[in-house]
Amino acid sequence: MLRKYSYPLLLWLLVGLLLWYETGSSSYVWPSDEEALRRMTPALHTVQAVRLLLFVVVSLLALVAVRLLPSGKQQVVVLLLLLAGWGLWALTERVFRRYLAVEYYTLWKYQRFEKIASAPPLTPDLLPLLLRDVQDSTESFRVRDKLVLVLGEARIQQAYPILQAMAHDAHQNPDLQVDCLKALFLLRPQQFAAVLATSSDSAVALYRRYEL
């Protein structure tokens, strides 16, 4: 029995191991980054549960195929089903990213390895979180800097007064202020000269260096 279905079983085990690795916390952040792990763990558990559910559904379909189809076709069908299941995840990733936008946003925000290439879609539920977190001084520079650039590149006009206030705040990190200036230019280029004229000298100097 085991020899007969050895290839499908090995592929099933391989897919399961890949799924475990893909959804493990160590694939998003360094294990030593305890603060990031603490903040992202609830969201990670939700994403893991959804992916595990999809894997179980595909595995059950494979089991049904083994029981119902003639023996000569079973291995081929099981292999195709497992491969189709992996493809199904790729096709439905966009749907899951929108449905679980807040969870994916949390993973994207704290990731260290840029595993999630871009921020999830800016849904009505997600945008207030971006505007809140970009102002939150307890968030790391890296997180806030990513958010500043995303808000600018996405042309989110609601972020303009927030980013303007940050660009003018002398207590902010100068590098963060520079990225605020970049975002403000993207949001309202016609007003940028006035914003630059009222920004801190250190931020303006860094911005001029960036232009060069």
32-51 confidence digits (pLDDT tens)? 888 899 999 999 999 888 88
- pLDDT at residue 42 in the model: 93
pLDDT digits (tens, 9 = 90+) for 62-88: 667 666 666 656 666 666 766 776 677
The tens digit of pLDDT for each residue in 167-206 reads 988 889 989 999 999 999 999 999 998 888 887 777 788 8
SS3 155: coil
**Exposure class string for 98-110: b at 16+ Cβ within 10 A, else e:** eebbebbbbbbbb
User: Residue 44: exposed, middle, or buried by beta-carbon count in 10 A (0-12, 13-18, 19+)?
Assistant: buried
Query: What pLDDT shows up at residue 120?
Result: 77
Instruction: Name the residue with higher pLDDT: 211 or 52.
Output: 52
CA distance 185 to 105: 25
Rounded to an integer, the average pLDDT of 103-119 is 89
* Residue 143 neighbours by CB under 8 Å, 6+ apart: 109, 110, 133
Domains and CATH numbers, the chain: 6-108 (no CATH), 122-211 (1.25.10)
The full DSSP string for 50-81 is HHHHHHHHHHHHHHHHHHHS-HHHHHHHHHHH
Q: Is the pLDDT of residue 212 over 60?
A: no
Q: Which residue has the higher pLDDT, 139 or 122?
A: 139
Q: Is the pTM of the predicted complex or chain greater than 0.85?
A: no
